[in-house]
Amino acid sequence: MLCPICEKRKAGRFCPAKAEKICAVCCGTEREVSIDCPSDCAYLLAAHRYEDQHPRSLPSDTPLLDVRLPSDMVRTQQQLLSAIAFSVAKFCSAEATAADPDVLAAIQALAESYKTLSSGIVYDRPPAIPVQRELYNTLSAFLSETKQQAGQSSFGTFKDSEAFQLLVFLFRMGLMRTNGRPRSRQFIEFLRGQFPGAQELKKEESRIIVP
């Protein structure tokens, strides 16, 4: 039986996303590109383990790369950083179409907004793509409400410049944790893994079908 994707090579690897066998080459090249792989696919997990063993570097033209972050930022703002990360993971758990590029675009856009806000200029330009705009609005509302209720929350007070730095940190972390494929959820899965006991982040039911 030929691979239904390339129609050239022998189909020998079962693909849970397509519910049929495909060839190993198409599995490797189309994974998280044209194929929307379930997070528990054995081939996807093996690929992610391999990618995690090879550290990534950020190119010099990476947005916000010139921002210098305080060395003690994670320690002093750990609770707020965790809360932002949890908000991202929670949103993505409820929005099945969200992928790493959507998360990164939303965080980058919000960081740009806070960059100007910290200098006294009101700048609000959410992404045009709906899922990215929804995450942008979700995080923006969370930070605004948290700042307004600073005296009643465990996060304490924080400046717009500090929120900007945390968003930049999370953005860079995402770039280092994703593999750059358009349908990758590697960074999203990493964030989920930081909150193993959270019911809100319960994974989708397995799409693995035993052939």
User: pLDDT by residue (tens digit) across 97-117?
Assistant: 999 999 999 999 999 999 988
Query: Cβ(77)–Cβ(162) under 8 Å?
Result: yes
Least confident range of 121-125, 169-173, 179-183: 121-125
User: pLDDT by residue (tens digit) across 21-40?
Assistant: 999 999 999 999 999 999 99
Burial of 64 (0-12, 13-18, 19+ CB in 10 A): middle
Task: Give the integer Cα–Cα distance in Å for 1 and 18.
Answer: 15
Q: Which residue has the higher pLDDT, 35 or 152?
A: 35
Q: Which residue has the higher pLDDT, 165 or 203?
A: 165
As beta bridge partners, residue 15 has 20
Q: Which residue has the higher pLDDT, 55 or 108?
A: 108
The reported pLDDT for the residue numbered 178 is 95
Least confident range of 70-79, 131-140, 173-182, 194-203: 194-203
The reported pLDDT for the residue numbered 164 is 94
Domain boundaries, the chain: 1-59, 62-201
Q: What is the mean pLDDT of the chain?
A: 90
Burial of 41 (0-12, 13-18, 19+ CB in 10 A): buried
The reported pLDDT for the residue numbered 206 is 56
Percent of the chain whose pLDDT exceeds 90: 71
Check: pTM over 0.95? Answer yes or no. no
User: pLDDT by residue (tens digit) across 172-202?
Assistant: 999 999 999 999 999 999 999 999 888 878 7
Task: Give the integer Cα–Cα distance in Å for 35 and 183.
Answer: 8
What average pLDDT does range 119-131 have in this prediction? 86
How far from 118 is each of 65, 98, 171, CA to CA, in Å?
18, 29, 18
